[in-house]
């Protein structure tokens, strides 16, 4: 039976206002569990707390109230660098360093870089549906979809248990977006990689399938076992979002 790998218990986070202004509550009492091997789609209007939630899961932020558990232990008890290796985050706009794709794949912590072989690099590219000829390509000359997959390959070389994706298809054309969806689905199904995907694009969510977490106003509005709950929404916030009334 799959084990619970991540859990949020009553997580709240406030951002302080500047010059004495009132602060803003970004997340309010967020609770959910995530089992190993699951695909969790985090959906909702802009400003609902989706990307902030990913930052909490990756320990770029810590909650003001509540806790995030990883394998049953408070995330704050782990070294942040260890967490970012085991719970890896890929950003909306992939970061490419100067040089070739090989140079980019080798941009890892020193202890991991020394252990990487040519076979590791080729295998990482194969995992994201790129062939070995890409190793000697100039990273800055790649297409948006290719950069996104190289960034994902770089992350996969850290052997993460959980992959967090923040709007992974937002800057891609439909064909590149389709390739990326196929890639992450294959990683989940064949390698058991646990996925948490933030997306505004409901077509992406439907194609990924898996569980659904709908966030609005920093709160969990829907926590459903399947994305099918989007087809017949009962909560007004979900209906408004689907109707385009919420950004």
Spans of the chain below 70 pLDDT:
17-22, 108-114, 245-247
Residue 94 lies in a domain: yes
Expressed as residue numbers, the domain containing 10 is: 4-242
Question: For residue 175, what pLDDT is reported?
Answer: 85
Question: For residue 72, what pLDDT is reported?
Answer: 96
Residue 29 lies in a domain: yes
Question: For residue 43, what pLDDT is reported?
Answer: 93
Residue 247 lies in a domain: no
Neighbours of 76 (CB within 10 A): 12
As beta bridge partners, residue 214 has 43, 222
Question: For residue 19, what pLDDT is reported?
Answer: 56
pTM for the model: 0.89
Question: Rounded to an integer, what distance in angstroms lies between the CA atom of residue 68 and that of residue 89?
Answer: 16
Question: For residue 22, what pLDDT is reported?
Answer: 55
How does the average pLDDT of the chain come out, rounded? 89
For residue 91, give the nearest of 152, 138, 17, 175 by alpha carbon: 152
- Which residues contact residue 7 at a Cβ distance below 8 angstroms, ignoring those fewer than 6 apart? 32, 33, 34, 68, 69, 72
Domains contained in the chain, number: 1
Question: For residue 214, what pLDDT is reported?
Answer: 94
Residue 151 lies in a domain: yes
CB of 195 within 8 A of CB of 166? Answer: no
Question: For residue 110, what pLDDT is reported?
Answer: 54
């Amino acid at each position: 039976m799959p084990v619970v790998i991540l859990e949020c218990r009553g997580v709240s986070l406030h951002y302080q206002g500047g010059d004495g202004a009132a602060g803003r509550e970004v997340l309010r009492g967020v609770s959910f569990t995530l089992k190993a091997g699951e695909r969790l789609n985090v959906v909702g209007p802009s400003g609902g707390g989706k990307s902030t939630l990913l930052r909490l899961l990756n320990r770029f932020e810590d909650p003001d109230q509540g806790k995030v558990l990883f394998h049953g232990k408070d995330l704050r008890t782990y070294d942040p660098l260890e967490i970012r290796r085991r719970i890896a985050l890929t950003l909306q706009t992939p970061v490419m360093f100067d040089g070739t794709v090989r140079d980019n794949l080798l941009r890892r912590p020193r202890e991991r870089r020394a252990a990487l072989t040519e076979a590791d690099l080729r295998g990482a590219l194969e995992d994201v549906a790129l062939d070995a000829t890409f190793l000697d390509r100039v990273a800055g000359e790649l297409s948006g979809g290719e950069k996104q997959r190289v960034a994902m390959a770089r992350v996969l070389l850290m052997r993460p248990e959980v992959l967090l994706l923040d709007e992974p298809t937002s800057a891609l054309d439909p064909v590149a977006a389709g390739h990326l969806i196929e890639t992450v689905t294959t990683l989940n199904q064949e390698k058991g990689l646990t996925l948490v995907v933030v997306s505004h694009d409901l077509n992406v969510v439907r194609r990924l399938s898996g569980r659904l977490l709908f966030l609005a106003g920093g709160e969990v509005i829907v926590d459903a076992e399947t994305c099918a709950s989007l087809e017949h929404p009962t909560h007004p916030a979900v209906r408004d979002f689907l109707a385009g009334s919420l950004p």
